[in-house]
Amino acid sequence: MGRTSVPVGKYLLLFTAVYTLAIVALTVTLQFVDFNARAMSVAAFIAAISFPANRFAQDHNRVPTGTERLKFAVGSVLIATAISLIQVAIVFALLSSQSGANEEMEALRQVMSDNSGILVFFIIFISVLYLGVAFFIFRWMAGTALKAAERRKSGS
């Protein structure tokens, strides 16, 4: 008997809230601590997946199907990309408001246009990596939540 696929929108909203809060917390923290921001961004992405995965396991008492995982993974990567674009827009707005930033902004535009093919390749490559991480972590975290719930039931 096949499982029916459930909508993942509710879990993507939870992911969005947790990921946004994690990124804001990291941004504030990194103002005071010198640390690798890229590694922290990946950690925030993985942590943000754990909350909806646990909620999914609680709501449905099962791990997500492949279709549900794919929908969640694509949605979470699109959301993370949108949040990153908002961050970049804010940085550009702040830089452009500073005196002497016109030369720096023009140099940045030149570098980006000269290397646009490489930039597009890396964006696609990173997106595929994040897609894979989300696809596998969503199922793994839901499975972990189910096992923990079973242990709690058998222990009481």
DSSP 8-state code for residue 99: T
Please report where in the chains the tokens 């601590």 appear, as a residue: 33
Q: Lowest mean pLDDT: which of 41-50, 73-82, 90-99, 114-123? A: 90-99
pLDDT top residue among 120 and 136: 136
pLDDT at 110: 79
Question: Residue 146 contacts by C-beta under 8 Å, 6 or more apart in sequence?
Answer: 57, 61, 62, 63
pLDDT at 144 over 70: yes
4-18, 30-44, 115-129, 130-144, range with the lowest pLDDT: 30-44
List % helix, strand, coil for the chain (3-state, nearest 5).
85, 0, 15
Tokens for 69, please give them: 């995982």
pTM for this entry: 0.83
Please report which confidence band the pLDDT of residue 1 belongs to, taking 50, 70 and 90 as the band edges.
Answer: very low
Distance from C-alpha of 153 to C-alpha of 151, rounded to nearest angstrom: 5
Extract the runs of DSSP E, i.e. beta strands, from 12-128. Answer: none
Give pLDDT tens digits for 23-59: 988 888 877 777 666 677 888 999 999 999 999 999 9
On average, the pLDDT of the chain sits at 87
